[in-house]
Every structure is written in structure tokens, then in C-alpha cells.
Structure 1
């Protein structure tokens, strides 16, 4: 018997993750695109590769494949609203957000905790999602803050033990 999607989501929801917004500059004449993900991870140090997963019908996937680049904006604990804004099908309006173009032209969110800019390296099928691998060409820390976490459909604060 196949596993029920609802049960899989519930069980996996017990694994805490970080939260990032993947951004991509729009193709000529198109607006930039962004999507919230909690499936971001580093893949390799040499070469410097990261990956994220996104639904195969996502506008962000089409934009990343069309432009060949993207930025990973790692969100801080005070950015749950931004997380939700990019989680909707009609995502946040970049005109209302502080951001600037990175080395690839992808929007880098000025208030993010950190960013990584990537060239598209590879795309692999993954069921109803796609695994997107990027080669990191620029990165930076933008501020000191706790990261935004996702656990059981909420954003709990981390307890830092000293």
C-alpha cells in the first residue's frame, strides 16, 4: 500500500528545518520570482554546491531554468511574515521589499540572515517535485540573528544553550 500523503507530511513535520526564500530575476520583461522552501541544504564543499526542492509546476522552477541562476535567502527568526508571503501561489511583490540584485541578477533580500547566489548546475526529477542543484558563486552573512525554523507547521524560536 502506498503511504498516504497526509501521514507523510505529518511525520516529516516533526523534523525541524530552516526556512529560505529562493529568488530569481525574471526573464527579459518579467518580474522577479520567489518561493519559500524548507528543503534547502548544502551538498558539496568542492565544488561548492547546494540544493533545494520545489514542486515541478512551480513558477520559480520555470524562472530558474529560464535564467539559469538563483539566490537562496536564509530567513531570520523575525521573518515569518516574509516566509508566508512567498509561500503563496501569488508571491510577495518585490517592489515592496528591500532587496538588490546579486552577482547573477537574482534578488538578494536585504533583511535576510544570509544569502547564497548560484548558477544552475543540475535538475533531477523527484516525484511531484524537482531537485535543483546550484553552484555557489557568491555568498554572505547579512546580520546576526537566530534563523527562522519550521516545525509542525509553526515557527518556534530556538533555545540556545550556552
Structure 2
């Protein structure tokens, strides 16, 4: 009688030119928060849902996010020279979807106020960072925006965050469902 050998799963591997769809699927296994980047003033003010956000440095206080080169928000950020990063709560999934597509919600349809840099901040966000644009770098089909944090706030810090995992959004306390890609404007 022979003992049954446990079968080992061979991980899927890709070498060489990596398919963009496969890269998106693999990167989708990295849990991220969901933000809405807001920028502009007056009629030009706009926002876009983005999950490509990270802190860069504490001294000086720098953060970055990425936008597709064809994003409607790209020119607004460049012209304004400032932006706000709004960290969404688990209850703000509808807000995230409203700002995710090309036909985005207007800032007038969401409670907001102006930051120290003059750009809109979503009043019901878990937290926000108001930033002065320091630099922009080309990164393939995206632009990487680096900003210095000049103001921050924690309006709803006691809420659960909205997260993005495997192509879907949800809060930490609920099971992730469906696959809906985040579009970055």
C-alpha cells in the first residue's frame, strides 16, 4: 500500500512580454484603498476614482497617485497645480462609481468644501490630503503626480475604509463581490 502524495499546485507564471490583462489580474490581488482625487476650481473642478495612491516621504510630506494619460482629470491637475486625495469610507461605494467613468458625477452632486489649496474636498470622506503639485513623471500609459501635503483632515476617521480587491469594491466588514474594474478617469 502506498501513501497518497499530496498534489502541489504549480503557480501560473509568465515570462517575457507580459499581457496587460494578466498584469491587471495579478495586481488585483493586492488590496488597496479607494480614493477620489479632486482638483480644479469653479466650473473646472472635477474628480476621478483612483486606487493607485501611496505615500512617498514623511520629510518632506510627499504622496503620489497615477492617472491614465487620457484621463479627463490630468489637464485639470496640471493647470491647477494642486489636488486633494479623498479616502473613501466603506459606505461610499456609490461615490466611487460615480467618479469612476468618463461621464463622471459633478462635484455639485456631492457634499464638498474647499481645501487650503482651493481645490474641493469631499466632506464625507474618511480622511483627505490637500496637496500642492511638486512634479509629474511619465510612466508608460500613465502620468505619476507627486504632491506635497499642505493640509490634512479626518472627518470620518471612525468609519471602515472602502477597499479594492480582485476587481471589486467593498468595505472590510463585507465579502468582496463581482468584478468591476476601477477606471482612473
Given the two structures, how large is their TM-score scaled by the length of structure 2?
Answer: 0.82
Unaligned ranges ≥5, structure 2: 1-15, 174-185
Cα distance in 2 for partners of 1:23, 1:61 equals: 11
Other-structure match for 2:3: none
* Alignment size in residue pairs: 157
RMSD: 1.2
- Aligned ranges for residues 46-125 of structure 1 at < 5 Å? 46-125=59-138
Give the superposition deviation at 1:156.
3.6
Unaligned ranges ≥5, structure 1: none
Deviations 1:96-155 (A, max 9, x none): 110011111111001000000000001011100011000000001011101100001112
Cα distance in 1 for partners of 2:28, 2:85 equals: 22
- 4+ runs deviating over 4 angstroms: none
Other-structure match for 2:6: none
Q: Does 1:151 pair with 2:165?
A: yes
Given the two structures, how large is their TM-score scaled by the length of structure 1?
Answer: 0.93
Q: Does 1:7 pair with 2:5?
A: no
Cα distance in 2 for partners of 1:91, 1:105 equals: 21
Give the superposition deviation at 1:95.
1.3
Cα distance in 2 for partners of 1:137, 1:43 equals: 14
